Structure 1
Amino acid sequence: MYIHQLRNWPQFQWDNDVITSLLAEVRHRQGRLLGRMEGLGFHLQEEATLQTLTLDVLKSSEIEGEVLNPDQVRSSIARRLGMDIAGLVPADRNVEGVVEMMLDATQRYSATLTQDRLFGWHAALFPTGHSGIHKIVVGGWRNNVKEDPMQVVSGPMGRETVHFQAPDSDRLQHEINAFLKWLNSPEKIDPVLKAAIAHLWFVTIHPFDDGNGRIARALADMLLARADESNKRFYSMSMQIRAERKTYYDILEETQKGTLNITEWLQWFLACLNRAIAATDNTLAAVMRKAKFRERPATQTINDRQKLMLNKLLDGFEGKLISSKWAKITKVSQDTAVRDIQDLIERGLLIREDAGGRSTSYILKEE
């Protein structure tokens, strides 16, 4: 029996004595982080938000086994937020769709969540009306028959493990109506707890043919933005869930097969959120490093190609940077690439790497 089949569904309960101290710790950590960010100034906040939203989109898709192009995600977010950054690249339609959903959730966090808004998110995720090779219902709830229930499964075909079974499709409109009425009601509980419950509740209903997990995480992000009372995002819950993906699926499955006492789910969610906020130290360190580098006088008059490549190095360039890679990425001749690199060396921004080999490679010169 699954929780949505229980007589008192969806009257969730939890142990306040257990949850209160965890929630207080999370709220304290959130407050400290937001206080630190307010002291950094607008441009650093903007950079941190771009970094965090990029991670959110990438990691939420990775949880579902979909790997997106980081440059496309970053470019799509920057364009939509009106940010002026070097090296913007065109983004595929599926990237634009995930970004559109995430930004609508986090930038319009105080807007009422409606059925049409959910349909819009789903349509953005699946612009072609297909999930892989399968045609799906877009702009409406799934309509599977009772003989073919919506099951969340894993494992090879023929030997799948059923993690849980969602409500039959003839119940969906009633279930969604109850969910939206609760979510849009004035806050009776802390919005961080509301984020945890909304995530679980939406996953349980599983109203769409596909994309339910990503939409559930977008809903959680929307409610966490409400908790912060800010559309600037400085921590990524999806990045932390991706790091703990097995535990995430295990606790969801256990909760689906348990009772309406969801204390253990809330404990895990709050602890995961706490770890997500703690992990921002790495994000902020990278943002500060980039800001410090860009403030150097020698960076003020460099060309767009050089800005692009320095940004890639600051973001963590994959592999060795050699002149042929520079030429390929910036779409210039080898001679132009060498001149660009030599200019940055003379400015004290790049140095040749000591490591030997046939091709000379280059790294940032830190102050």
Structure 2
Amino acid sequence: MTTSSPWIWRRADWPAESLVHDAELAAPDLAEAYRIHGVLEGKAMAIGLGSTSQVALDALSDEVLATAAIEGERLSLDAVRSSVMRRLGLATSGPINRNVDGLVEVISDATTAIDTPLDEDRLCRWQSALFPGGTSGIHRIAVGRYRGHADPMQIVSGQPGCEVVHYEAPPSKDVPAQMKRFLTWFADTSPAQATALPARGKPIDGFARAAIAHLWFESIHPFEDGNGRIGRAIVDMAMAQHLRQPVRLYSLSRQFLTSRAAYYDALNHAQRGETDVTAWVRWFARQITAACHAASQVIDQAIEKRRFWEKQEGSGLHERQRKVLQRLLDDGDGGFSGGLNAEKYMKMTGISKATATRDLTEMVMGGQLWSHGVGKAVRYYISVPGWAHGVGMETSPIGPDAEVGSVVADEERETKQSERNVRAAVEAGGYTVSEKSGGQDRQYIGPIVAVSTLHVAQHIGRRQVVIHDTRLLDRVPAMGDRLDMKFKDGHGTVLDMDSADKDLGR
């Protein structure tokens, strides 16, 4: 062991028992995470969320989709939802995918069988479930056992000949001993163990334990493939052991995906640093806060939907009207781009214009919708208290240019909402906005760390991002793409764009 190596596991003080953190320094971030989680839990209790509620189904599905997407793997939403429903014992006729089923089983096992010991056999069964065919892509890998190859286990990016080594894990021969130490610590620090043996000392904070467990496991990187997904399942298990929550309310993997570059940066920094991992614990706590904020907004929408339908009891709405109203509710405040009009209503329901006009008029008179504009420019919005849909209540212009003016206003509102969304994602990832591109000729190099409908945010170093309007670009990048972006005369050219699945292969 030496302290001159960049990797944490080569340090002389690499843990004989555990990684450590300064509880006092981490306390403010942890306290805020607990506060927001408490708010989220209170909202869930208020509406009686159950394990088969739509919110719970969506949260588990989101976790599955996101933990795979972090690795650059895009799963079918239909296959994921179908697998989740079967896992929960619900009827479904959706598609079956063995790889999806395996990932759902891993996450479900981690969050339900929380009192079953986490040992080598269980981890190896998790890894086998992720690769039911014994291959990763077209390559055969060691499945159901720790890696045993003699080559260094490295995380790299870049083109052949220009690779960048982001991390090198302990050699395969050391993995069994390293994992035995980790699993002993995980068992000894579990809430159940701390309760059974209170004399062992002050128990570690549950959120901090989840953070340390993830970093420690990822630093060992015991398998040939699947370490990231299994490491996040260990986080799920540690959080479930601590919170004893029967219903999943949030998705940490979704938050990690939203801030994927920051997630990798924080891990890499911790794996090159001291065995005091306070900075990592604080960053992790902030991600819990952000994930709970996002979940809280979802529950707010569920509460609003419930209140809306409670008010409609006995209203005599036709089924097609209910279908469209539900779509508007699901899209949220301002989410139905451009508002609803008769033409859109006709396409959604397959009825005549006369019937569409009559339906819309009835819903305005019944208080389910309110209208804005006149003539061909009239738009309809669902009537939910506090939802303005970005529309001013002033009278729309009248005359031949009225419809054009309404379309322009709708585009402006959509643009502003898109920019607000990407700024919120940036802030949740711990970045600050340096500027919006297009104002002057410049070159930007770095990964995309946040996206919205019309904007992307590119990390340009020092936790600074620049926001691009995608309508100014010659092609639209995706989350995780690493770009060389050149702006000239207000328009951007995307050069040397690597696909998202070429990002760090964690």
- TM-score range relative to shorter protein: 0.7 to 0.9
The 10-residue stretch of structure 1 (293-302 or 229-238) with the greater mean CA deviation from structure 2: 293-302
> What's the offset of the Cα at 1:283?
1.6
In structure 2, what is the equivalent of residue 232 of structure 1?
247
1:76/1:45 CA distance change after superposition, 3 Å: closer
Q: Does 1:127 align with 2:142?
A: no
Higher strand share: 2
1:234/1:168 CA distance change after superposition, 3 Å: same
- Output aligned runs, 1:73-84, within 5 Å: 73-83=80-90
In structure 2, what is the equivalent of residue 207 of structure 1?
222
In structure 1, what is the equivalent of residue 63 of structure 2?
56
1:312/1:180 CA distance change after superposition, 3 Å: farther
Separation of aligned partners in 2, 1:138 and 1:364 = 53
Separation of aligned partners in 1, 2:113 and 2:13 = 33
TM-score normalized with structure 2 length: 0.60
1:153 to 156, 176, 179: 156
1:306/1:211 CA distance change after superposition, 3 Å: farther
1:91 to 86, 96, 106: 96
Separation of aligned partners in 1, 2:313 and 2:164 = 59
Q: Deviations over 1:225-277 (max 9, x none)?
A: 12211131111111111111111111111111111111111111111111111
Separation of aligned partners in 2, 1:222 and 1:164 = 25
Residue identity over aligned pairs, in percent, reads 37
In structure 2, what is the equivalent of residue 13 of structure 1?
20
The amino acid of 2:279's aligned partner reads E
The amino acid of 2:102's aligned partner reads G
The 10-residue stretch of structure 1 (87-96 or 152-161) with the greater mean CA deviation from structure 2: 87-96
- Output aligned runs, 1:162-241, within 5 Å: 162-185=165-188, 186-187=193-194, 188-241=203-256
1:308/1:196 CA distance change after superposition, 3 Å: farther
1:247 to 262, 271, 274: 262
Q: Is the 8 A contact 2:51 2:248 kept in 1?
A: no
1:318/1:222 CA distance change after superposition, 3 Å: farther
1:102/1:19 CA distance change after superposition, 3 Å: same
Q: Is the 8 A contact 1:44 1:287 kept in 2?
A: no
Q: Deviations over 1:42-81 (max 9, x none)?
A: 4598322212111111111111111112222122212211
Instruction: Give secondary structure in 1 for the equivalent of 2:166.
Output: strand
The amino acid of 2:32's aligned partner reads E
> What's the offset of the Cα at 1:282?
2.2
In structure 2, what is the equivalent of residue 331 of structure 1?
none
Q: Is the 8 A contact 1:108 1:231 kept in 2?
A: no
In structure 2, what is the equivalent of residue 34 of structure 1?
41
Instruction: Give secondary structure in 2 for the equivalent of 1:184.
Output: helix
Separation of aligned partners in 2, 1:143 and 1:306 = 61
| Structure 2 residue runs without a partner (length 5+) | 195-202, 373-379, 385-506
Instruction: Give secondary structure in 1 for the equivalent of 2:21.
Output: coil
> What's the offset of the Cα at 1:312?
7.2
Q: Deviations over 1:163-188 (max 9, x none)?
A: 11011111111111111111111242
Q: Is the 8 A contact 1:130 1:136 kept in 2?
A: yes
Q: Is the 8 A contact 1:38 1:45 kept in 2?
A: no
Instruction: Give secondary structure in 2 for the equivalent of 1:163.
Output: strand
Separation of aligned partners in 1, 2:19 and 2:105 = 31
In structure 1, what is the equivalent of residue 75 of structure 2?
68
> What's the offset of the Cα at 1:111?
2.2
Q: Is the 8 A contact 2:20 2:276 kept in 1?
A: yes
Q: Is the 8 A contact 2:215 2:267 kept in 1?
A: yes
1:14/1:120 CA distance change after superposition, 3 Å: same
> What's the offset of the Cα at 1:82?
2.6
The amino acid of 2:276's aligned partner reads N
In structure 2, what is the equivalent of residue 3 of structure 1?
8
Separation of aligned partners in 2, 1:216 and 1:83 = 28
Higher helix share: 1
Instruction: Give secondary structure in 2 for the equivalent of 1:279.
Output: helix
Q: CA RMSD in A?
A: 3.6
- Structure showing greater Rg: 2
